Structure 1
Amino acid sequence: MDADPMNRSELVANLQKYPSMFGLDGSYSMYVAFFRGYEIGADAEWLRGFRDWLVRDLGYGQNLGWESLIIRAAMPGRSDHWQLFGPRDEETEQALTETLFRRLEEFDLMFP
C-alpha cells in the first residue's frame, strides 16, 4: 500500500529535518539506502517514476539510477565527485542532500 501525498511530504520533511530519528547520519549515501529500502519495502509507487522524470529533466542519464542522476545534477561537470559511495567533504554532502530533497519535492508536486 502506497503512502498518501500528505504522508509522503511529512516523511520527506522529517527525514531531512531529523535524520537520526530514522537511524540515519544525514549523509547522501544513507538517504539513498533509506529511499531504496522504502521503495522496495513499502512498494512505494511514487518513487518508481522518479528516475525517468530526472532523465527527462536533465536530458541525459538513461543508463543511470536516480542516485547517480542526483549526483550529476548537484555536481555538473565535477566527475571527480560522481562516485556513489565514498568519502565526501561536508560541502559536497550538503549539495547532494539539498539537491535530493529539492528534486523529491519537485517530483512530488508534479506527480502527487
Structure 2
Amino acid sequence: MPLPHVLEMVRRCPGMYLRCVQFDVAVAFVDGFDVATNGGLLVGFREWLVLRLNDGNNLAWSQILLRIDQSERAGDPSAATEEARVAFLFSTLDEFLSERERPTGMRSIFVRYEDWLRAQDWYDPGSPDWVPRSKD
C-alpha cells in the first residue's frame, strides 16, 4: 500500500500542508492522521522501527525514527536538516506500509517483534508486558 493520498501530498509538498517543515510538526500531522483513521495507519509501525533499530523498545515511534535517521546519517551530520528528517519520516512510513500490506506482512512484523523481545535479557516472566506462550 502506498502512502494514503493525503500523506503522499504532504510528502511531495510539505510546505503547503505543514505550518513549518519541521520533524515535530510532521510527526504531529501523522499522529493526527492516525487518530483520524482510528489508529489504523500506525499499527505495527513502532514495533517495525524497534526491529530496524534493534533497540528503543521504551521509546515512542518518533524518537526511534530519529535514532534511525541519526545512525544512517552518521557519516554526514550536516545533512540532518529538518527537511531531510521530514522526508525520511515519509519515506520510512511508505516502506513500512508496503511491507505491512503484504499478505502476511502484519503478522510477520509482530512475530519478528515477539521473537526480538524474547531474545532480550530484560524480557522475562517478571516483565510487566510478558505474554506467556502455550508452551511457557
Q: Tell me the residue number matched to 2:112.
A: none
User: Which runs of 4 or more aligned residues in structure 1 lie more than 6 Å from their structure 2 counterparts after TM superposition?
Assistant: none
The amino acid of 1:111's aligned partner reads R
Give CA-to-partner distance per residue, 1:24-75, whole Å, 9 cap, x none: 3221111011111111232131312110100011100000011001111111
Q: Tell me the residue number matched to 1:34.
A: 29
**How high is the sequence identity, in percent, across the aligned residues?**
29
Counterparts of residues 15-94 of structure 1 (less than 5 Å): 15-76=10-71, 91-94=80-83
TM-score calculated relative to the size of structure 1 = 0.72
> In terms of Rg, which structure is larger?
2
Give unmatched runs, 5+ long, in structure 2. Answer: 102-136
- Comparing 27-36 with 92-101, greater Cα deviation is found at 92-101
Give the count of matched residue pairs: 97
TM-score calculated relative to the size of structure 2 = 0.61
**Native 8 Å contact 1:74 1:96 kept in 2:** yes
Say if 1:70 and 1:6 are closer, same or farther in 2 by CA, change over 3 A: closer
